[in-house]
Structure 1
Amino acid sequence: MSTQPTILVVDDERELADLYAMWVDGEYEVVTAYDGRSALEAMSPAVDVVLLDRHMPDITGDEVLNRIRAVGHDCWVIMVTAVDPGLDIVELDIDDYVTKPVTRTQLTRIIENLRVQAKFSNGGRRELAALSNKMETLEDEQSASELEETDAYRQLESDLKELSDSLVENGDGA
Structure 2
Amino acid sequence: MTTTDSPSVLVVDDEEPLVELYARYLASRYTVQTATSGKQAVELADDSLDVVLLDRRMPQMSGDKVLRALREEGVTAQVAMLTAVEPKASIVEMPFDDYRLKPVDKADLLGLVEVLVERNEYDKQSQEFFALAAKRATLQTAGKTDTEKYEELTEQLEETREHIDTSLDKVGAEAAFADLAADD
Q: Distance in 2 between matches of 1:14 and 1:88?
A: 28
Q: How does 1:40-51 map to 2 (within 5 A)?
A: 40-51=42-53
Q: Secondary structure at the match of 1:45?
A: coil
Work out which of the residue numbers 160, 164, 169 in structure 1 matches 2:166: 169
TM-score by structure 2 length? 0.87
Q: 1:125 aligned to 2:126?
A: yes
Q: How does 1:4-153 map to 2 (within 5 A)?
A: 4-119=6-121, 121-142=122-143, 147=145, 149-153=146-150
Q: Distance in 1 between matches of 2:10 and 2:75?
A: 13
Q: Distance in 1 between matches of 2:47 and 2:150?
A: 33
Q: Distance in 2 between matches of 1:66 and 1:6?
A: 20
Contact 2:78 2:120 in 1 (8 A): no
Which range moved further: 108-117 or 94-103?
A: 108-117
Q: What CA deviation, in whole Å up to 9, does each residue of 1:123-167 have, x standing for no partner?
A: 11110000001111111111xxx51x3110000000000010011
Q: What CA deviation, in whole Å up to 9, does each residue of 1:11-47 have, x standing for no partner?
A: 0000001101110002111111001111111112111
Q: Distance in 1 between matches of 2:110 and 2:99?
A: 14
Q: CA deviation at 1:115?
A: 2.1
Q: Distance in 1 between matches of 2:53 and 2:29?
A: 15
Q: Which has the larger radius of gyration?
A: 2
Q: Distance in 1 between matches of 2:38 and 2:68?
A: 11
Which range moved further: 109-118 or 36-45?
A: 109-118
Amino acid at match of 2:159: E
Q: Distance in 2 between matches of 1:37 and 1:84?
A: 23
Which range moved further: 109-118 or 69-78?
A: 109-118
Contact 2:83 2:100 in 1 (8 A): yes
Q: CA deviation at 1:111?
A: 1.0
What 5-or-longer segments of structure 1 have no aligned partner? none
Q: Secondary structure at the match of 1:171?
A: helix
Partner of 1:2: 4
